[in-house]
Amino acid sequence: MRALRKLVVPTAVLAGAGAALGAWTLTGTGDRPAAAPATAETLPVPFPEIDFSPGDQTALQHAEARLVEGCMHDKGIDYRVPSGSWKPDSPSNPYALLTKAEATGSGYPLPESNSSAPTDDPAKLSDRERTALFGTEAHQKSIPLPLGGEIAVRTDSCYNTAQNRLYGEDWKALRHTFETLSYTVVTQVQKDARFTAAQRSWATCLKNAQYPATTLDAVTPYAMKVLESIHGDAKATAAVHKELRDMAVQDATCQLRARLAEAVTAAQQDARDGVLRGARKTDLDHLRELRRHALDTAHRLLRPGGTTAP
């Protein structure tokens, strides 16, 4: 589809570095891993400790639902968390890196309308259920965040009780801290000379293939803009999806030729070292422990005969 290739890719600013699992309100040993070389199937991310595979996300979500239901039962309420239409996220790489397999199989990982947790319609809940699920203002407290700001939680809510049982009380603050640090790392990598040189090589490769792109983080907004422009036209949508998949395959091919993943891995290691100083190293060790605890707890709960008892 030639019209697609003639569009100019707009510049864009990286949007955030991942969404946290669970629901809360935001108000206001050496950690250096062995530098395994990036390959076609392993892509660098700032902090793998805050990412979960779709399978792990599903296990955690189901475990949290069981813990919520157990908490409600302890309060004398027979309650089932609605399943809704929840499905796990397939988060895109924060640097917009692609593997050849991903590009060939599904094209660009474009955002979808998705709820990260089952939702309860307060209008359908009794006052007793609503109070037990969401807690009361009298039991609301603010948890300060290490990098500034705070998280407001209601300690008497079954959602908060379930999340603390599953992830640990420190998880919310630490997760947000490393999401913020992830953004810092990505921003530094994008300014690194090794990355910018590889990105120029990638852009030249795409240009030679008749795809006008200059920066990696502009491609997904461009693809979304193209899809939105033909919304409602089934035939045009199918054609654009095919063209975008072709572009994604060429994009991934150019990334491999430009050795972008390797450039990101090297730049990212230096950026990580820069932000992981003092207490941040201890925080990351603690986050790893909480992650292991959450996954172990989820798998235990979901085994046949698994119990919500501590």
Instruction: Collect contacts of 119-123 with beta carbons under 8 A, ≥24 apart.
Output: 119/82, 119/84, 120/81, 120/82
Which DSSP state fits 244? H
pTM summary value? 0.77
Residue 129 is encoded by which pair of tokens?
Answer: 């259920």
Please tell me the distance from the alpha carbon of residue 270 to that of residue 137, in angstroms, as a whole number. Answer: 44
Please tell me the distance from the alpha carbon of residue 236 to that of residue 62, in angstroms, as a whole number. Answer: 38
DSSP states along 73-110: HHTT-------TT-----PPPTT----HHHHHHH-S--
Buried-state track 157-194, b at ≥16 Cβ within 10 A, e below 16: bbbbbbbbbbbbeebbbbbbbbbbbbbbbbebbbebeb
Vertex 57 angle, CA 308 and 47, to 5°: 115
**Other beta carbons within 10 Å of 308:** 18
Q: Does residue 255 lie within any of the structural domains? A: yes
Tens place of pLDDT for every residue, the chain, 310 residues? 333 443 333 222 222 223 333 333 333 333 333 334 444 357 999 999 998 988 999 999 999 999 999 999 999 999 998 876 677 777 789 999 999 999 999 898 887 644 444 556 666 889 999 999 999 999 999 888 878 888 899 999 999 999 999 999 999 999 999 999 999 999 999 999 999 999 999 999 999 999 888 999 999 888 888 888 887 677 888 888 889 999 999 999 999 999 999 999 999 999 999 999 889 999 999 999 999 999 999 999 998 866 665 5
Q: Does residue 32 lie within any of the structural domains? A: no
Q: Does residue 232 lie within any of the structural domains? A: yes
Question: Which are the contacts of 18, defined by CB distance < 8 A and separation ≥ 6?
Answer: 50, 51, 91, 94, 179, 182
pLDDT of residue 89: 77
Q: Does residue 308 lie within any of the structural domains? A: no
Q: Does residue 296 lie within any of the structural domains? A: yes
In the block, tokens 């501590």 appear at 310
Q: Does residue 234 lie within any of the structural domains? A: yes
State residue 154 phi and psi, 5-degree precision.
Answer: -105, 110
CA distance to 98, 194, 231, 281, per residue, from 33 (Å): 22, 20, 44, 12
Q: Does residue 97 lie within any of the structural domains? A: no
pLDDT of residue 207: 93
Number of domains comprising the chain: 1
Domain span at 65: 2-9+45-90+116-302
pLDDT of residue 96: 94
Instruction: Name the packing angle between helices 171-191 and 158-167 (round to 10°).
Output: 70
Please tell me the distance from the alpha carbon of residue 244 to that of residue 139, in angstroms, as a whole number. Answer: 50
Q: Does residue 121 lie within any of the structural domains? A: yes
Residue 49 is encoded by which pair of tokens?
Answer: 């400790």
Q: Is 261 exposed, middle or buried (0-12, 13-18, 19+ CB in 10 A)?
A: buried
Count of helices and strands (H, E) across the chain: 11, 3
